[in-house]
Amino acid sequence: MASASKPPADVPKIRKKGLSVACPIAYGSLAFLLERKKQSEFVTHKWTLFVRGPNGEDISYFVSKVVFTLHPSFAEATREITSPPFEVTEMGWGEFEAKMTMHFKDPNEKPVDVLHQLRLYHDPATGTTQPKKAVVAEFYDEVVFTDPYEEFYNTLMQGQKLLPQRKHEHQEHFSTFSDGDTLQRLAAAREWVHNQLRETKDRIRKADMDMAQLKASATASSGRGLGRGSTAQTSQTSQVRR
């Protein structure tokens, strides 16, 4: 993979202001029910947590390592993977929420955490699964680098042009993410954001109306009070004058 040469230490790094680079990823889990003879009280499934290219691309051009944080019941609950495939395979009996922390080739970029609920069953409601059929739970996402340093920007650009396909042993079970899928997800995300904004605006508008009514009511009550006091004072003054 081609990479930009590092500038001398005394040369200041320059950010590419106003530019953003989106790097697609897929993350999730893959689980298999073990044969009955291989099961035990605490081992029923074999599973893999992963971060990968959506269609098998090598993401190591921008990802330096992935740290997987498993359930604390595992002997080594934190696993650091520094080369592809960025994945952890284990055996167990229970589902849990795992954390996958991506670190990047440019250490100036902050690590990104992704939370994922490990799934072991095809039907979570009943806890049933189909033998020999993988339970796949994966999602498409994009890591967006905003105003990256010039050196890293060049690495990202070159890396996206030189993406070798990596054949995974479970490739047949993975989802295939197309441009159409991406557009549909973006459209759904935009619709969700639009709905949230509309609901928020409606709530703000209602709150403003309620506040205006309260102020009007308070002003009216205050005005009536002043009127009574004023009348009494005027009457008193008139009596003195007489």
- Residue 89: count of CB within 10 angstroms of its CB: 12
Residue with tokens 């009494």: 232
The tens-digit pLDDT sequence of the chain (242 residues) is: 333 444 455 556 899 999 999 999 999 999 999 988 999 989 999 999 999 998 888 999 999 999 999 999 999 999 999 999 999 999 999 999 999 999 999 999 999 999 999 999 987 766 666 767 899 999 999 999 999 999 999 999 988 765 555 666 665 566 666 655 555 666 666 676 677 888 888 889 899 898 888 888 887 776 655 444 444 443 443 343 43
Q: Do strands 45-52 and 86-92 pair parallel, antiparallel, or not at all (unpaired)?
A: antiparallel
- Write down how long the chain is: 242
**pTM greater than the 0.95 cutoff:** no
> What are the CA-CA distances from residue 119 to residues 28, 62, 129, 171 (Å)?
9, 28, 10, 18
20-176 belongs to which CATH class? mainly beta
> What are the CA-CA distances from residue 182 to residues 26, 165, 176 (Å)?
12, 19, 11
**Three state DSSP letters for 86-132:** EEEEEEECCCCEEEEEEEECCCCCCCEEEEEECCCCCECCCCECCCC
